[in-house]
Structure 1
Amino acid sequence: MSRLQTLSDAEWDLIEDFMPSSDGRRGRRFSDHRLVVEGIIYRYRTGVAWRDLPAEFGPWQTVWKRHRRFAGDGTWDKVLTALLTRADTMGVIDWDVAVDSTIARAHQHATNTRRLAGAPSNYMMQMPEPVDHAIGRSRGGLSTKVHQLCDGKGRPMVIAVGPGQGSDSKMFPHLLAAVRVPRDGVGRPRTTPDAVLADKAYSSRAHRTLLRSRGITAVIAEPRDQQSNRKRRGSRGGRPPLTDPGRYVKRHVIENSFERFKQWRGLATRYDKLASTYRAAVLLRAILLWLPALTERP
């Protein structure tokens, strides 16, 4: 397979039907979707500027505008949801899910747009562009934080982006609420994992209560300060939370997932001015991580 081609024929067949057929505003029919998608993948995989795309993908303006369109109309959200439905039907989703976040440094080309820092925004699903463009200042400088919930094999199920200084703990209820895998046919979507694996940043009584109320096993490490406070209070501190060591060792799958994400240079460093276009690229990478499991022969 050429370095300009990433998708196999079988993988393209799974997502082709979800590509928009025309521009609804002008009625102009789209063409060469596969070539354009390959151009988008190449751009984020290599981290080149849009203007530097190889001529084999056609005019770079076409590739960029199509990516912007897919980011705005939720195309990649629809594709990922459809793939999750197929994966659930095939029984390949591991419902011991893991949650965490990773930082992507924002390049200077991504930070020269006016933004309103500190304003409340929802970075979860299809929505207007957040006023801060999901860029904030953390210890490493201007950055974006990618929040992710993945299945037990490190394949993304829910993705959100936020400013680099954003709290992992505050984002957790939103990530959990966004778990929704429709059934293939009749039946309610599945919204409840078997267990949630998370590090100490997600340890709180509120989160454990939320998981317990939904019948989800909490596999979350307890930090030392919480242990000390509980012991200091004696019997009023309650019992130590139970953590399954056999399950907790699987938490590394989400770190492996982020490692695969950052093999794409255009994701490891954010060059996009808009949060919606950057998140769309992260979704596209997530889709490519699911496709091999859905096209393998039994």
Structure 2
Amino acid sequence: MRMKLRRIHVDGVDFFWRVLWDPDAANSDYLFLRVWVAGCKAYPWLTVHYQFHNPWLFYGDIISAVTPEQQQRARDYSQLKPLTPGKVAEIIRKATSLLDDEYADRRLDKSWYLNINREGALNWDWRNIMNISQITLLIKRLKQSGVSFVEGLSDEEFVAIQSEFQVTFPPDLKQFLQAAMPVSERFVNWRAGLNSTKVKQQIEQRINWPLEGMLFDVENNSYWENSWGEKPGSAEEREVIVSQHFYTYPKLIPIYSHRYIPATPNEAGNPVFSVYQMDIIYYGYDLASYFAHEFSFSLPESFEAPEEPKYIEFWGDF
């Protein structure tokens, strides 16, 4: 669900803004405020994670508060504010002030992610990653390498994809796919997966490929992790144990061929792995360096490629 796109004028600059519910929130009191600079609507300039006053959610807790703990919680709820145009203007001003401290020369050239707490203070989010120029250059280099693109995925499509395939996209991959979606052979056509049973099954096979490869090596190449305990005698028991452990590891999201990026931690900068059965190697220390490696092109120093990969539970042990 989302609100319509609205226009707002703040300190001499025109913006557009929209509210979207946070589909991953445990309760219905968190949302995302998206703000675009007028004339540059390809990417949101600002995304703010905001806890707001939802009277339908909190009304019962407020009127039934009896114990000191319940009364304190009711007072906390009452401090939350609805997201009015005036509140949006206030957030834009605070964000502009915060960005001016360090990024005044390019604060409108990047998609920024911020959190706002109950006291109204803005904080940096870990999802600040590639700016518009970097994404544009990355897509350009991929096109020069023969990769075909279509229109990027919308917020509604991401919600549908996450629900349909039970996946969560790390923010840099999501940001990339919002700009444009690669559809050349061996890429994942997520949009088609929502509209075609055949493509949906193909994507599900790609998602299940790491587990299938693990089970293959267990049965054919004597693979077994010590942490799984004693190896059972039957194939059926082995499959149960392997599957149980597999689903506790960070989920791998297919990108291209048998290259995967972990969904967790839900942060920018996760490495990309090449996964072929239990032959697992790093193929990029982050998303941009992966594409450069896969398609044999170089990136300018502005991309600041990590010198070593972020550690990922289990998958980083190979």
Give the TM-score of the pair, scaled to structure 2: 0.24
Query: Quick check: which one's strand share is greater?
Result: 2
Whose Rg is larger? 2
Query: Quick check: which one's helix share is greater?
Result: 1
